[in-house]
Structure 1
């Protein structure tokens, strides 16, 4: 029992570190993408190159983990395809269409309510009724988002834009739910396969005229310095996609969809800091207050989560069950 408790505590700590690493990595994509778009890139081109490069980078790492066991890929084919089409390509396409009809801040606000959708899914699908701490944490997180994104002065009411933003929100929620599945499938394999499928889908969407695809080789200008175009492209592909998705999957499999989705809200605060450093966009006091509320919301949700994985997210437990089945002598096997 003591060993099991220690294992759960270790798993929780590593999950928190993976979640923060993922959120921080994802947050760097905004400022880098802004620099590329200012240099003449379309947003769809940035995302397509980003996810394709990440998939290519992860492929040499993913293949050895399979050890020739392609049956594992076939068994999880639906998960990989859903991850690529919904969590990667679908979410990005929906977001781009949303910002075409409403302000960026309003679209982001709706998309980042994904944790609420995750809570609703866990309640409906797994009968996990949210506790008081989860409800309070959700309220603090949403209030913090309102302040960080500074959309209180007026939200777009365009029904088409709202519909696309809601689609992006459900795509974001699907990212956390799908990441918790496939415990026997290495996270690197899921990420590589999903990113490649998502990238190809975005290219096809561009070819079909759904999103514009164009890029330049002009130098990219940031606050106080400029750099060749390929430098931010490499960083946005390797750091903000390859590393971000792999650590995000690892975090969700350890923490569960619900807690991982709330920790991901720290991405907004980290994005503010990176925008300050790279673009000279200093955050306003009200945005810093919003970031503080987001962190308080995450802490509140964490305090309301079960202490053991066994009592936590059933989807996160999948990975633990697979490990236990593979190692029957482990302490967790006698649950």
Structure 2
């Protein structure tokens, strides 16, 4: 019995360390992703189209991450060929669609509500794992999803009869689908793709797809070279574009995939709800946008799902394997 205990202890310690590192990656990803709306909003107001901002952002990130993605393969190009379809799906939905839809939403509504709608994605992940893989959520996890749904009602301010930008809400829901895809694919370790390779492949695919749509005229491309203001200070237009590419894309996607591999898609998606808090903070600090009190209350309810699902994951972990 003593020998068995000694054998189990290192495994438990390794699992805890893996979870702690995964949580750190998830928080870095969430905080950096949260900057994207605040960085993009003044550019959109200055005349940039959502397509142009998305293409430049993803293109810069692809240039930075692609060399590291190739190195991570370590001379195994067959791994990438076998997963070509997965990388294509990731690039189309988790990168191109998610970011274009989000920036299209931000062009029509404030950053905070757009983020809060997008980050109902964890509930979609729970439902997908249940329907597709039979990962039946426990009552605590379902409670978290219910809190998120109630929070969404408050974020949309439906109870007061406030006017909504329907196109903005629909674009934000489109971003939610892309976001859910991002969490599910990022957490899949069975494909053998290194995290950096998956991130690089998705960013390259996203850049090519958006570039092709722009070339044939299906994606409006407008740019401006006027200065933009953040927190009352004007900066050259190219500074926020660099930030969008390097910080809110290259850093965010790579750390997000690393988090998903360690935490699993369900838990990673709920921890990533901290992006909402980060996004609201950055929007308030940089562009003086702050949701109404009822919307903030809705955000609190959505974020309460993080705690509920984390508790639910611990319960599931004792009885059945968690996707990771």
The alignment partner of 1:28 has SS state of helix
Match of 1:297 in 2: 305
Q: Give yes or no for contact 1:109–1:149 (8 Å, CA) kept in 2.
A: no
Contact residue 156 and residue 164 of structure 2 kept, 8 A:
no
Query: Would the alpha carbon gap of residues 165 and 143 (structure 1) be closer, same or farther in structure 2, given more than 3 Å must change?
Result: same
In the alignment, what sits opposite 2:5? Answer: none
Post-superposition offset of 1:146: 4.1
Q: Given the two structures, how large is their TM-score scaled by the length of structure 1?
A: 0.83
Asked if the contact 2:116/2:299 (under 8 Å) is kept, the reply is: no
Q: Which residue of 2 aligns with 1:197?
A: 205
Change (3 A) 1:23 1:148: farther
Partner of 2:143: 136
Map Cα deviations across residues 128-161 of structure 1 (whole Å, 9 max, x no partner). Answer: 1111111111222333344455455347596x88
Residue 269 of structure 1 corresponds to: 277
Q: Does 1:279 align with 2:287?
A: yes
Partner of 1:63, secondary structure, is helix
Is 1:45 aligned to 2:59, yes or no? no
Asked whether the 8 Å contact 1:85–1:194 carries over to 2, the reply is yes
Q: For residues 318 and 262 of structure 2, what CA distance do their matches in structure 1 show?
A: 8
- Match for residue 181 of structure 2? 174
Change (3 A) 1:281 1:266: same
Q: Secondary structure at the match of 2:234?
A: strand
- 1:97–1:277 distance in 2 versus 1, CA, 3 Å: closer
Aligned partners of 2:229 and 2:302: how far apart in 1? 31
Question: How many residue pairs were aligned?
Answer: 313
Tell me the residue number matched to 1:219.
227
Distance 1:267 1:185 in 2: 26
Question: Which residue number corresponds to residue 187 of structure 1?
Answer: 195
Residues 96 and 23 (structure 1), Cα distance of their counterparts in 2 relative to 1, 3 Å cut: closer
Q: How many angstroms does 1:51 deviate by? A: 0.7
Return closer, same or farther for 1:50/1:256 CA change in 2, 3 Å cut-off.
same
1:306–1:312: 8 Å Cα contact kept in structure 2? no
Give TM-score scaled by structure 2 length. Answer: 0.86
Alignment map for 1:2-13 (pairs within 5 Å)? 2-13=9-20
Aligned residues of 1:22 and 1:247 also touching (Cα < 8 A): yes
Structure 1 residues 312 and 248: alpha-carbon distance in aligned structure 2, compared to 1, 3 A threshold: farther
CA spacing shift, 1:196–1:309, aligned 2, 3 Å = farther
Looking at structure 2, the residues matched to 94 and 295 of structure 1 have their Cα atoms a distance apart, in angstroms, of 22
Alpha carbons 1:15, 1:252 under 8 Å: kept: yes
Name 2:237's counterpart in structure 1. Answer: 229
SS of residue matched to 1:128: coil
